[in-house]
Structure 1
Amino acid sequence: MTAELVRGQNHPLSQVRLEIRVSAGVPVVAAATLSDENDKARGVEWVAHPGAPTLPGLEVSRQAATDHRLAVDLAAMPEAVHRVNVLLALPSAGGGPLRFGAVGAPTVTVTGLDGIGIARFTLAGLDAESAVVALELYRRQGAWKVRAVGQGYAGGLAALFTDQRLPGAAELAGGIQEAVARGLARSVPAPPPRTSDADRTRRTATPVSGVDQPGPSSQGAPDAEPPRPASPYDDPGQSTYGAQAPGGQGPSPYPDSGPEQQAGGAAAPGPSSAPGTGGIDYTHPNRRHTAPPPPPPQAPPAPSGQPARPVAGDAAGWSMDERLYNQVWGMFEDLARTTAAYRSAVEFADSRRDKELDHLLSDPRSRIGAAGDAAREAAGARHAQLVDEARAVLDRDLAQLTAEAEVVEPALPPAYARWDNPVWHGYRVPTDFPMALRLGDLHLPESVPLRIPMLARLPLERGLWIDSGPATGLDASFADSTDRRGLAMETAMALAARLLAVHPVGEFAVQVIDPAGSGSTALMPLVRTGVLAAPPAAGAAGVADVLARLTQRVDLVQMALRAGAPESLPPGLDTAQQLLVVNDFPHGFDDRAVNQLRYLADEGPSVGVHLVMVADREDASAYGPLLDPLWRSLMRLTPVPDDHLADPWVGHAWTYEPSLVPPGSQVLQHVLAQVAEARTKYK
């Protein structure tokens, strides 16, 4: 359990390899100084900061950000080091706040490498300070401890370094601020900034990087921004919404599987495997360009004093699909940021009110009577004013994002669109490979009407686990009903149908394992139109046959790629990407079948075999540790709205809703009929 520290309190550290996570409502600079037994830093070489981020046993972030992760290895610290001071400072450039009293209280958490919290300290009560020693790690009788410090300095980093008796304190502070201002040594480009508040329409989202467009260096990944997403997914029990930045492979929904998945972003794993490497190439499947992408379309001029009108596809990219993909990512990022700022402001208002009331109650003379009542009323009024101001900013941002969603949603291609989007009525079997796939929608409690599409990069780098167990989230109406299992299979069927519909004919095949036939109703559209590669496999024999064939396919393709001889594959081998949908797991599965399923989940994606499981983990609990690696390798989705997608970037729990065909709609039959007709002509 994470210890909640107050100023001056200490706590023992049972681990030497740690992560220090910083969360603030505005971008801050994170740094650290090392001190000897006399509590003195011996020189600038004992300071880790954005311009020089690494020291033995220590690495800090390379840029100002709202969230940081500092890596600490106390066992690697030089013997002369007896204290590690973690510092936070507000950047002097960029037009941001110049004192901590104007922003929400930052929070600093010490965790193990497994993400489990050890100690947390919220720096409440700051006012005119622009730099602060947040906490310190120190040796005591051969062991390490952490102490909450919270010592602030109105004179900024220069005053802080002077207090630590560092030579050239002012010059060092100026150098750090200059490094931050110029973005020196930035390992991952910061997400594209919004324009001014009067013009909040996105203009320059970062295009997806690929083989023809060098991506950012992977050096210094711990401070990559955004999450990653993606992921994302670091803590056991939390999985990610394929949250990858459009520009690379940073925090992506991460292998994990518990009751929560990580959300991290609006997109997940990327489009095509690099032959022979098993890696994912994030280049758009059809890109052949080496020149920079064309500029995005410009918004029409807005009336004076009004925000610019949103435009669909106004992010950067080589194609409209790529621009829309990047724009959706930007919308997710903007919603995450504005909500984080609002929550931080509310926490600050709560903390300030509590501090004022504590001060009031500590004096018996003002505790009762008219003066006490007036002071309480004044504290409440100040709290309400701060919250109202924060809500006004949030409402403004939500209004702009809602306006943007209203123009983006109708412009989405079939792979990104909801099933009720008119684009499906003009559907034609595509000739190009899709870049991403809509898995559902995401939203936050503060913005329930606003839905952000959850786009997963293709091919799927991770399989999916659609939970058919009792509901624990927002909609528990299916907790004790078999309807939940049927709805889970419906969700899997909608995903399978969408994958078939958005791939060129002959390039994607779907196989189904339904041992007891319980999914026959949900599978009827796929079976009736004949778009499945084979009838759903039933019984233990059917399970064994399908798994044996797909396992053999993975083995053959892997061997051919490693040998550099893809032409040596057997003539009858289906080279189309394969999606295996497994219903009612573990019914019909023995230990051998479970191991084969694990193998497909781990090795299949790199050679075009993908997995969607419809199951209740409790049903498979008898497998114990045998099932855990499979559970952890898949991204968990739910058939009903559930706030289980964790965003490691800003700590939000996003509510996920699946993308289902509207009741009574004939759009699925229309689409699958065209897919079936195209398959007949193709053969």
Structure 2
Amino acid sequence: MTAELVRGQNHPLSGTRLEIRVSAGHPVVAGATLGDAEGRVPGADGVAHPAAPRLPGVEVSRQAAAEHRLAFDLEAVSEAVHRVSIVLALPSGVGGPVRFGALAAPFVAVTDLDGTEIASYTITDLEAETAVVAVELYRRQGAWKVRAVGQGYAGGLASMLADHGIPQAAELAASIDEAVAQGMARAVVPPPARLATGEGAGRGSAPAADVRGSAADGRSVPDAAAEATGPDGLDPTVSLPAQGVGGADEAPGRQPGGASGPISYQHPGRRTSTPPEPAPAAPAAEPGRAGAPVAGDATGWTMNERLYNQVWGMFEDLARAAAAYRSAVDFAESRLEQELDRVLSDPSTRVGPAADAARAQARARHGELMDQARAVLDRDLTQLAAEAEVVEHALPPAYARWDSPVWQGYQVPLERPMALRLGDLHLPERKDLRIPMLVRLPLERGLWIDSGRSSGGVDAALVDSAELRRLAVDCAVAQAVRLLAVHPVGDYTVHVIDPAGSAGTALAPLLEYGALKEQPAAGAQGVSEVLARLTRRVDLVQMAVRSGAVDALPPDVDTAEQLLLVNDFPHGFDDRAVTQLRYLADEGPAVGVHLVMIADRDDARAYGPVLDPLWRSLLRVTPVPDDHLADPWVGHAWTYEPSMAPAGSDVVRQVLWQVGQARRAYGI
């Protein structure tokens, strides 16, 4: 949940790699000063500004702009730096406002690299100031926090830099102003004012729709719909799925002068401030054609991070494109219904040649709108399909399908990736366009692999119960192998509970290649022992973290990430074991204990609502395609397909063999 700060308030930071986003409504200069514990900056080399935008762990914009994204890696800053102040200033000598009091209150947001907002601050009560310290990142007892400052300076940059103890502050301020003046021609234009809406907006007004471009005849879908709205006073209502995102530099479709235009639904992480490593550049496109897609065309500190953001952007783009198409279809259907009702309500046109002509005209307009909507969708899906194909071949093992060639050159990694592929997602508009379903690591929720026929979908109905359970076990083993493969040696330990021993065949490769330290726990006693051991680990690690005594953990506590694979729940579980499993599902992920549970909810009906919190705490996936997942933007029902090795492939065994070899080499 975002913390909305007031002046002087602070908030802890959960990570050290951040973005700070600034929105001022008018071009401003953004920079950062790196000070000691007292806030004093030793010299000009401790200031990141447009003329020197990069310092260790800090990168700021190279020019004045209405929107800024500043990148910070607090682990990379010097140990002598205890305060990082984010400063804003009005450019001087280039025209425009001469005081912040003439502008809308600047807004500052601190976000994770994936765009999740941590804290925000609106800088109010500014009058004659021309420079302001917006927020401050400061180190306290080894941890970083953010504080809302809002300290303004009527004397401008020179006064503010002098207050930070910088020698020759006036000369530094002059050099910054000179660099800004040279770059003002490239400054981002502030976004146009949003059109006012009121009670009068709606009936008789042109409908708004989500479109990613124009139709084949050069008109967008909403333009064509507005043109089709004649003087008959019909009310064409099109639902807008979500507000467009992006700063002023991301809205090329908007018309000048504040007029409404096509809304950009590009993911905010796809065109942002310059990352430390430049993203690959797409080759120049032929006139009239879209540019060729490039893998890694997104923001990020590493190629893997850019690929993750690009996949997330493709996911959102497909959701928006489908929402636009469905909205346009709904509008066309609604318009056809209204026009036919209008014909039937008039006795003079209810029957006869005039009625037939009116109905034919209404259906023709309906067909035209449908064709335009489909043309826009087909174009967008073609672009996304081309991008998906390029990106798929560039994905690292953690993000790749099991049939990807990248697994043929697999080597045990030296560090944990930022995400893991659980499967693929697609929409009915184009089933062959698959978007990788990536989840962040470490897992924030356990996985529930639904082995019941109630999992839904035609595929589940065509598979008998025994086969569905076998597929669920295979899916769980594939996920466990992938988790082992993408973590460094010794960073992941797998435990298995198989009360009846029914998963012996599927689990055999894990035992054969040494991925399991011990045999799967069977029977009530085995279940109890494993759950007691993991529950003790969760309790001890929680106490150690809360007391700051992590080094005091007993030597028999395995500090590696733990994965518990439970088969055929709730068979073999008594009330105490069920309670322990619920505890692990709730408290385990925060201290490195993760759960993958294979279960049929119908088998656990005897427990009634007692297990409802357990089902809700886990991410439900299925061993066969099922449309039970929804996106966070417009709520489409996405069909999930698990990530499984191709039939007859030995890729999982090959990967397990390499993992086992590495574990033996390290004596694990």
Residue 387 (structure 1) aligns with: 370
SS at match of 1:626: helix
Displacement of 1:477 in angstroms is: 4.1
Residue 442 (structure 2) aligns with: 459
Contact 1:201–1:310 (Cα < 8 Å) also in 2: no
1:99 to 1:335, Cα distance in 2 relative to 1, 3 A: farther
Pair 1:341-2:324 in alignment: yes
Contact 1:506–1:679 (Cα < 8 Å) also in 2: yes
Name structure 2 gaps, 5 residues minimum: 1-103, 106-192, 197-201, 211-224, 238-242, 255-261
Pair 1:376-2:440 in alignment: no
Aligned residue type for 2:269: A
Q: Distance in 2 between matches of 1:514 and 1:321?
A: 36
Residue 190 (structure 2) aligns with: none
1:542 to 1:203, Cα distance in 2 relative to 1, 3 A: closer
Name structure 1 gaps, 5 residues minimum: 1-50, 53-89, 106-125, 131-149, 154-180, 214-290
Contact 1:207–1:326 (Cα < 8 Å) also in 2: no
Aligned residue type for 2:558: D
Q: Distance in 1 between matches of 2:325 and 2:265?
A: 20
1:151 to 1:394, Cα distance in 2 relative to 1, 3 A: closer
Displacement of 1:654 in angstroms is: 0.5
1:195 to 1:294, Cα distance in 2 relative to 1, 3 A: farther
Contact 1:415–1:502 (Cα < 8 Å) also in 2: yes
Trace 1:496-515 onto structure 2 (pairs within 5 A): 496-515=480-499
1:193 to 1:613, Cα distance in 2 relative to 1, 3 A: farther
Residue 551 (structure 2) aligns with: 567
Aligned residue type for 2:356: D
Q: Distance in 2 between matches of 1:99 and 1:396?
A: 30
Displacement of 1:104 in angstroms is: 5.2
Pair 1:584-2:568 in alignment: yes
Pair 1:357-2:462 in alignment: no
Q: Distance in 2 between matches of 1:449 and 1:193?
A: 29
Pick from 266, 269, 278 the counterpart of residue 205 of structure 1: 269
Pick from 272, 275, 280 the counterpart of residue 297 of structure 1: 280
Displacement of 1:301 in angstroms is: 1.0
Contact 1:638–1:657 (Cα < 8 Å) also in 2: yes
Identity between Structure 1 and Structure 2 (%): 65
Pair 1:545-2:529 in alignment: yes
Pair 1:332-2:315 in alignment: yes
Pick from 474, 477, 486 the counterpart of residue 493 of structure 1: 477
Contact 1:543–1:589 (Cα < 8 Å) also in 2: yes
363-372 or 554-563: bigger deviation? 363-372
1:335 to 1:561, Cα distance in 2 relative to 1, 3 A: same
Residue 145 (structure 1) aligns with: none
Residue 426 (structure 2) aligns with: 443
Displacement of 1:204 in angstroms is: 7.1
Q: Distance in 2 between matches of 1:591 and 1:406?
A: 49
Pick from 298, 302, 316 the counterpart of residue 299 of structure 2: 316
SS at match of 1:627: helix
Contact 1:192–1:206 (Cα < 8 Å) also in 2: no
Aligned residue type for 2:548: G
Displacement of 1:103 in angstroms is: 3.4
Larger radius of gyration: 2
Pair 1:432-2:415 in alignment: yes
Q: Distance in 2 between matches of 1:497 and 1:428?
A: 14
Q: Distance in 1 between matches of 2:529 and 2:431?
A: 45
1:192 to 1:623, Cα distance in 2 relative to 1, 3 A: farther
- 1:629-683 CA distance string (max 9 Å, x none): 1011111101111111022421210000000011110111111001001001111
Trace 1:269-284 onto structure 2 (pairs within 5 A): none
565-574 or 346-355: bigger deviation? 565-574
Displacement of 1:295 in angstroms is: 2.8
Q: Distance in 1 between matches of 2:322 and 2:268?
A: 22
SS at match of 2:465: coil
Displacement of 1:302 in angstroms is: 1.7
Displacement of 1:626 in angstroms is: 1.3
Contact 2:452–2:465 (Cα < 8 Å) also in 1: no
Trace 1:667-682 onto structure 2 (pairs within 5 A): 667-682=651-666
Aligned residue type for 1:293: P
1:346 to 1:202, Cα distance in 2 relative to 1, 3 A: closer
Aligned residue type for 1:357: L
SS at match of 2:629: strand
Q: Distance in 2 between matches of 1:612 and 1:195?
A: 45
1:100 to 1:624, Cα distance in 2 relative to 1, 3 A: farther
1:455 to 1:382, Cα distance in 2 relative to 1, 3 A: same
Pick from 587, 595, 607 the counterpart of residue 611 of structure 1: 595
Contact 1:461–1:606 (Cα < 8 Å) also in 2: yes
Aligned residue type for 2:206: G
- 1:490-534 CA distance string (max 9 Å, x none): 111100000000000000111111101111122122122121132
1:203 to 1:195, Cα distance in 2 relative to 1, 3 A: farther
Q: Distance in 2 between matches of 1:314 and 1:674?
A: 32
1:99 to 1:450, Cα distance in 2 relative to 1, 3 A: farther
Residue 67 (structure 1) aligns with: none
Q: Distance in 2 between matches of 1:516 and 1:380?
A: 62
Q: Distance in 2 between matches of 1:190 and 1:531?
A: 48
1:201 to 1:631, Cα distance in 2 relative to 1, 3 A: closer
SS at match of 1:448: strand
Q: Distance in 2 between matches of 1:580 and 1:207?
A: 39
1:408 to 1:192, Cα distance in 2 relative to 1, 3 A: farther
Contact 1:469–1:484 (Cα < 8 Å) also in 2: yes
Pair 1:662-2:649 in alignment: no
Aligned residue type for 1:558: Q
SS at match of 1:509: strand
SS at match of 1:583: strand
1:99 to 1:306, Cα distance in 2 relative to 1, 3 A: farther
Trace 1:625-640 onto structure 2 (pairs within 5 A): 625-640=609-624
Structure 1 stretches of 4+ moved >4 Å = 97-100, 150-153, 188-198, 200-204
Q: Distance in 1 between matches of 2:346 and 2:338?
A: 13
Pick from 103, 113, 117 the counterpart of residue 208 of structure 2: 103
Residue 598 (structure 1) aligns with: 582
1:374 to 1:414, Cα distance in 2 relative to 1, 3 A: same
Residue 647 (structure 1) aligns with: 631
Q: Distance in 1 between matches of 2:388 and 2:512?
A: 35
TM-score of the pair, normalised by structure 1: 0.60
1:206 to 1:103, Cα distance in 2 relative to 1, 3 A: closer
Residue 525 (structure 1) aligns with: 509
Q: Distance in 2 between matches of 1:550 and 1:206?
A: 41
CA RMSD of aligned residues (A): 3.4
1:609 to 1:190, Cα distance in 2 relative to 1, 3 A: farther
Displacement of 1:478 in angstroms is: 4.1
Aligned positions, number: 441
Contact 1:419–1:667 (Cα < 8 Å) also in 2: yes
Contact 1:204–1:316 (Cα < 8 Å) also in 2: no
SS at match of 1:531: coil
Residue 416 (structure 1) aligns with: 399
Q: Distance in 1 between matches of 2:356 and 2:472?
A: 55
1:191 to 1:384, Cα distance in 2 relative to 1, 3 A: farther
- 1:131-151 CA distance string (max 9 Å, x none): xxxxxxxxxxxxxxxxxxx99
SS at match of 2:582: helix
Q: Distance in 2 between matches of 1:397 and 1:536?
A: 49
484-493 or 188-197: bigger deviation? 188-197
Trace 1:161-176 onto structure 2 (pairs within 5 A): none
Aligned residue type for 1:205: G
TM-score of the pair, normalised by structure 2: 0.62
Larger RCO, structure (CA 8 Å, separation 6 or more): 1
